[in-house]
Amino acid sequence: MFYTINRIEEELFVVLTDDDGRKYDVRVSEMPQDLRIGNVYELIDGVYIYNEKETEKRRSAARNRTKRFFQNI
């Protein structure tokens, strides 16, 4: 299952899941130090692992959607 960092609220990261779209609050201490909003992680053996390939795939799709949107204005 993939988890995406949606936003930061005080000492919590708000994380969205892909499977069911549910929102989870995760303590800062449970996440890697170098995370960014929009990064995609997998929970493996209780540890959030950054998935660079999935993150880039989603960022590229978002850039393409934005590009198409502005071309149609």
List of domains in the chain:
2-71 (2.40.50)
- What is the SS3 assignment for 18? coil
Say yes or no to pLDDT of 66 above 90: yes
For residue 16 the two structure tokens come to 């969205």
For 28-62, how does the pLDDT look when each residue is reduced to its tens digit (9 = 90+)? 888 888 888 999 999 999 999 999 999 999 999 99
pLDDT of residue 11: 84
pLDDT of residue 72: 75
Report, as an integer, the average pLDDT of 3-14: 88
Cβ atoms of 4 and 13 within 8 Å: the answer is no
**In Å, what is the CA distance from 42 to each residue of 1, 2, 30, 33, 70?**
6, 5, 13, 15, 32
**What is the overall mean pLDDT for the chain?**
89
Hunting for tokens 């892909």 — which residue is that? Answer: 18
